Amino acid sequence: MEILKVSAQSQPKSVAGALAAVLRDNNSAEIQAVGAGAVNQAVKAIAITRGFVAPNGIDLIAVPAFSEVNIDGEERTAIKFIIEPR
């Protein structure tokens, strides 16, 4: 499963385009976000992606979960969203 990393500075429409492309290729994807701003951008991107793939008859679901990631040698807690068609 491909992992897309989102930051607070990520453009939701760009992330949505990348997410839609990954979903078309792999049928599932994972988004990782660390921090409130990044999670906000990730949720916006998921909503935009639903609009991108809906005309193709695809209804997306997002399953949130916690994940431990290592950033600059420091262990951080990330929110990950597993995105799949319903």
Q: Which residues of the chain have pLDDT under 70?
A: none
Instruction: Report residue 43 as tokens.
Output: 């949720």
How much is the pLDDT for 43? 97
d(CA 70, CA 73): 6
* CATH number of the domain that residue 49 is part of: 3.30.110.20
How much is the pLDDT for 41? 97
Please give the tally of structural domains in the chain: 1
* Phi, psi at 44, each rounded to 5°: -60, -45
d(CA 55, CA 10): 25
How much is the pLDDT for 84? 94
Domain that holds residue 41: 2-85
How much is the pLDDT for 14? 96
How much is the pLDDT for 1? 75
How much is the pLDDT for 17? 95
Instruction: List Cβ neighbours of 82 (8 Å cut-off, separation of 6 or more).
Output: 1, 28, 29, 30, 62, 63, 65
pTM for the whole structure:
0.92
